[in-house]
Amino acid sequence: MAPERPREADAIPGRDAAETPVPAQVEPSASPEPGQAPLYAALDLGTNSCRMLIARPKGSQFQVVDSFSKTVQLGVGLEASGRLSRASMGRTIQALRICQKKIEKHGVTRMRLVATEACRRARNARDFIKQVRRETGLPLEIIAPEEEARLAVISCAPLVGRRTEQLLVVDIGGGSTELVWIDLSGVVPADRPHAIMRLHGGFQPQGEAEARVVDWISVPLGVATLKDQFADVEDDAARFALMSWFFEENLASFSPYNAENPREGFQIIGTSGTVTTVAASFLGLRRYDRAKVDGLRMTSDQIDSVIREYLSLGPEGRRTDPRIGRDRHSLIMSGAAILQALMRIWPTDRLSVADRGLREGLLYAQMSADGVLEDGPYE
């Protein structure tokens, strides 16, 4: 079956296989011209990567003027020691210095710079945050799992279908995975994407005809942490099966876990490097193309086919597969194990692929709170 992709404004750049900026989408101007909308920055420091976007509002979305992304492996060794290592902190601060220079270059004054699961878990995280402030001047903050989940949902607002009544958003990170189940049945179809955007104020609905969060969960298992849990299992297929079932066991407290087979009007949106890599592999992209991936809808059979191919390749085959990328090959099977578990629990015909995440959610939340986004259509 041919993939389907909804029509969407092309205002937000995505991630390529190596998570590098896209020069064609970067504007050279150092600061806003008179009358131009202000610039905003959003930085996501995760267990594996450091990513930043600088953008300005444009209509109901935003236009990126600069971006940065680098694999820093902040969480290496955290599972065993409970602390961030000196080497991982050093790599991360080097990346943050580049971000600080970009923020200064563009004259950005509105920003949110956040750290997630690795810093939530590390005993020396507070000292690290102070070191970042001392060496870079950046006001990095550690956010709670609920806010991380909420921002992931907000980033996906433009992909919410107008016929969607029950929505599950899944964000597979390096150190944790967030799932949010949202009831949109009380929202008029044309307003459903906007109702998701209004969650920037919290998970509690502001009125009767609003998006209602049925349940959410932050599982402390992401592509890096799940991989570390089963690093001692040598057999590739056995390790994959164990990871998938272990992740499913950790979802038992999520209230929609035992929901009946979803009816028409149910939509799953997956956002992460895992999901976009699976989509790129399905499309056979040797060079990542966000325009083809973001908004793609894949069937469960198509996802299973890609995962079976990954297993048949083995570790060495995955390492050299250009569709996976050199920064993703060692983590793709733990991410695929999470994705397969989700599709097993909620068998549905489609998964919507989102090349967007915490950075986009941070930008949308800041701009929405400031009232600088228009109320126009997203598609």
Is 73 within the bounds of a domain?
A: yes
Q: Which range, of 157-161, 234-238, 262-266, 317-321, averages the lowest pLDDT?
A: 262-266
pLDDT in tens, 247-302: 999 998 887 766 665 557 889 999 988 999 999 999 999 888 989 999 999 998 99
Is 1 within the bounds of a domain?
A: no
Residue 4 confidence (pLDDT) above 80: no
We report the CATH number of the domain holding residue 85 as 3.30.420.40
120 token code pair:
């939530």
pLDDT in tens, 36-65: 789 999 999 999 899 999 999 998 889 999
What's the pLDDT band for 203 if we cut at 50, 70, 90? confident
Which among 144, 160, 193 is the end of a domain? Answer: 144
Interatomic CA distance for residues 227 and 237, integer angstroms: 13
Q: Which range, of 9-18, 58-67, 361-370, averages the lowest pLDDT?
A: 9-18
Is 7 within the bounds of a domain?
A: no
- The parent domain of residue 323 ranges over 148-358
Q: Do 140 and 174 belong together in one domain?
A: no
pLDDT at residue 260, rounded to an integer: 61
Which residue did the predictor score with more confidence, 6 or 41? 41
Q: Do 174 and 123 belong together in one domain?
A: no
Strands across the sheet containing 266-271 = 212-219, 177-183, 166-172, 266-271, 351-354, 297-298
| Calculated CA dihedral for residues 131, 135, 141, 142, nearest 10 degrees | -40
pLDDT at residue 374, rounded to an integer: 78
Q: Do 153 and 134 belong together in one domain?
A: no
Q: How confident is the model over 222-241, as a mean pLDDT?
A: 94
221 token code pair:
């298992």
pLDDT at residue 121, rounded to an integer: 93
pLDDT in tens, 58-110: 988 899 999 999 999 999 989 889 999 999 999 999 999 999 999 999 999 89
